[in-house]
Amino acid sequence: MTAIPLLPAAPVGFPDPAYALTEPDGLVAAGGALTTEWLLEAYGTGIFPWFDSDDDHILWWSPSRRAVLEPGAMHVSKSLAKRIRNAGFTVTVDTAFAEVVAGCQAPRERGGGTWITPNMQQAYATLFAQGFAHSVEVWDEHGLCGGLYGVSLGTMFFGESMFSRTADASKVAFYHLQRTLAEWQFALIDCQIMNPHLERLGVTEIPRAQFLRVLERNARQPTRPGPWRFD
């Protein structure tokens, strides 16, 4: 792998993501720290952390193509619409953040092992306490059965992970999130990296340069603080 910058713990700052590696696609730098300052700087400049629990350093990424959804544009199949109406789910927001993150703590497609490390859990719990991170929870008669979490800055939501213990529960969470963000006039939901599941939901890809231009405009927008409540 081509050498990448190794960031110190301070000061906070990233290289220009336009110069991220092409192989592996989007790797920007290693190092830094999982503090509020580092994470908010990362999201605000089109970068997100992802690394295996065995990695020596935090790895920061900005892929060449970004998976995104305009709020309100989710594709809802007939079967999913029926589940949303009739499955008996209750949907809440920002009521069980730690439990949602724990539910997402599982092997991911981008690599083996658990990528949501204890340090990651603590970092996002801190963002939640400060009103920047949010969770959507889906409940059935047995309790929490699915959800998602991510970070909000300006009028953008940066999705991190989702999980389901019951069929379609994460899709239901995503549906209610994107519908509410449309009502709140949010500009974009960042889904990071495309996969077949996201594509079926109507998520599309845009070039990194276009995504970074959206972020530049977003930097001028006020952030809606948490905790959130859905109408």
Q: Which residues contact 53 (CB under 8 A, 6 or more apart)?
A: 113, 114, 115, 117
Q: Please state, as a whole number, how many other Cβ atoms lie within 10 Å of the Cβ of residue 175.
A: 21
Alpha helices (H) along 8-54: 36-44
> pLDDT, tens digit, for every residue of 93-150?
999 999 999 999 865 444 444 578 899 999 999 999 999 999 999 999 999 999 999 9
pTM exceeding 0.75: yes
Contacts 24+ apart (CB under 8 A), 9-12: 9/33, 12/37, 12/38, 12/41
Domains of the chain listed by start with CATH number: 6-63 (3.30.70.3550), 67-218 (3.40.630.70)
Q: How many Å separate Cα 221 from the centre of its chain?
A: 19
> pLDDT, tens digit, for every residue of 7-66?
999 999 999 999 999 999 999 999 999 999 999 999 999 999 998 776 779 999 999 999
Instruction: Give ∠ CA 141-144-145 in degrees, rounded to 5.
Output: 85
| The pLDDT value given to residue 1 | 54
Q: Which residues contact 161 (CB under 8 A, 6 or more apart)?
A: 101, 104, 108, 116, 148, 149, 150
Question: Token pair 């719990």 is at which residue?
Answer: 125
| The pLDDT value given to residue 112 | 44
d(CA 87, CA 146): 13
Q: Burial-class residue 126 by CB neighbours within 10 Å (0-12, 13-18, 19+).
A: middle
